[in-house]
Amino acid sequence: MNRIRKGDQVLVITGKNKGQRGDVLRVDGDRVFVANVNLVKRHTKANPQANQPGGIVEREASIHLSNVQLFNPATNKGERVGTKTLEDGRKVRVFRSSGEVVDA
């Protein structure tokens, strides 16, 4: 079970984007793409068949999973995440500090 999933709100804990918060756009192995965080400029070539203009495009680059933490709106902080198996056999993610279930 992944600790960070698409759609989660995460907090960057190290690097040049430390302290920034955003939603996870996608998870790719051990790297995540976070909206409006770690922006890079990419020089793209025009593609007339796909109707794409050329130029300099700003987009998100990936961040390693170890550099982000799941954001807990209750405490307004980034927190560690663990897993717990419920009585009905479902596995859920929980915040380690409070034991509160992340996904209902």
11-41, pLDDT tens digit by residue?
999 999 999 999 999 999 999 999 999 999 9
User: Do residues 15 and 71 make contact, with C-beta atoms less than 8 angstroms apart?
Assistant: no
CA-based R_g, the chain, Å: 17
pLDDT at residue 76, rounded to an integer: 94
Q: What pTM was computed for the model?
A: 0.85
Strand ranges across the sheet with 62-64: 62-64, 31-34, 21-28, 9-12, 68-72, 77-79
Residues whose CB is less than 8 angstroms from the CB of residue 100 and which lie 6 or more positions away in sequence, other chains included: 72, 74, 94
